[in-house]
Amino acid sequence: MAAGTATPLLLLLSVLCFVGASRAANVTYDHRAVVIDGVRRVVVSGSIHYPRSTPDMWPGLIQKAKDGGLDVIETYVFWDIHEPYDFEGRKDLVRFVKAVANAGLYVHLRIGPYVCAEWNYGGFPVWLHFVPGIKFRTDNAAFKAEMQRFTEKVVDTMKGAGLYASQGGPIILSQIENEYGNVDSSYGAAGKAYMRWAAGMAVSLDTGVPWVMCQQSDAPDPLINTCNGFYCDQFTPNSKSKPKMWTENWSGWFLSFGGAVPYRPTEDLAFAVARFYQRGGTFQNYYMYHGGTNFGRSTGGPFIATSYDYDAPIDEYGMVRQPKWGHLRDVHKAIKLCEPALVAAEPSYSSLGQNTEATVYQAPSVCAAFLANIDAQSDKTVKFNGNMYKLPAWSVSILPDCKNVVLNTAQINSQVTTSEMRSLRSSTQDSDDSSITPELATAGWSYAIEPVGITKENALTRPGLMEQINTTADASDFLWYSTSIIVKGDEPYLNGSQSNLLINSLGHVLQVYINGKLAGSAKGSASSSLISLQTPVTLVPGKNKLDLLSTTVGLANYGAFFDLVGAGVTGPVKLSGPNGALDLSSTDWTYQIGLRGEDLHLYNPSEVSPEWVSDKAYPTNQPLIWYKTKFTAPAGDDPVAIDFTGMGKGEAWVNGQSIGRYWPTNLAPQSGCVNSCNYRGSYSSNKCLKKCGQPSQTLYHVPRSFLQPGSNDLVLFEQFGGDPRLISFTTRQTNSICAHISEMHPAQIDSWITPQQNAQRPGPSLRLECPREGQVISNIKFASFGTPSGTCGNYNHGECSSSQALAVVQEACVGMSNCSVSLSSKNFGNPCSGVTKSLVVEAACS
* Residues designated catalytic: 179, 248
Q: Alpha helix (H) ranges present in 205-323?
A: 266-278
Of 825, 835, 745, 822, the residue nearest 787 (C-alpha): 835
Question: What is the C-alpha to C-alpha distance for residues 367 and 13, in angstroms, rounded to an integer?
Answer: 20
**β-sheet bridge partners, residue 356:** 353, 373
Distance CA 625, CA 618 (A): 10
Q: Report d(CA 648, CA 623) in Å as an integer.
A: 9
Contact 656, 713 (CB under 8 A): yes
Q: Is-contact 474 509, C-beta < 8 A?
A: no
Please state whether beta strands 711-718 and 650-654 pair in parallel, antiparallel, or not at all (unpaired): antiparallel
Cis peptide before 788 (omega within 30 of 0): no
Q: Which of 179, 627, 193, 321 is nearest to 445 (CA)?
A: 627
Sign of the alpha-carbon dihedral angle for 376, 379, 380, 385? positive
Beta bridge partners of 639: none
| Main-chain dihedrals φ then ψ at residue 738, nearest 5 degrees | -135, 160
Write out the H or E segment, with its range, that includes residue 243. none
Beta carbons of 392 and 409 less than 8 angstroms apart: no
What burial letters (b/e) apply to 316-351, b meaning 16+ CB within 10 Å? bbbbbbbbbbbbbbbbbbbbbbbbbbbbbbebeeee
Count the neighbouring beta carbons within 10 Å of the beta carbon of residue 818: 15
Long-range contacts of 345-351 (CB under 8 A, 24+ apart): 346/32, 347/278, 347/279, 347/280
Rg (CA), the chain: 29
Evaluate whether 123 touches 115 at the Cβ level (below 8 Å): yes
- Cβ neighbours around 765 below 10 Å, total: 20
- Say how far apart CA 324 and CA 312 lie, in whole Å: 8
- According to DSSP, the β-strands at 711-718 and 300-301 are unpaired
Chain Cα centroid distance, residue 544: 47
| Residue 74 contacts residue 285 (beta carbons within 8 Å) | yes
CA distance 71 to 283: 10
Distance between CA atoms of 233 and 838, rounded to whole angstroms? 32
Spell 691-724 as b/e; 16+ CB within 10 A means b: bbeebbbbbbbbbbebbeeeebbbbbbbbbbbbb
CA 433 to chain centre: 39
> Counting every residue, how long is the chain?
846
CB within 8 Å of 209: residues ≥ 6 apart? 27, 164, 165, 166, 171, 172, 173, 174
What is the number of other CB atoms lying within 10 angstroms of the CB of residue 750?
11
Helix (H) or strand (E) segment spanning residue 101: helix 93-102
d(CA 161, CA 153): 12
- Report the helix count and the strand count for the chain, using DSSP H and E: 11, 48
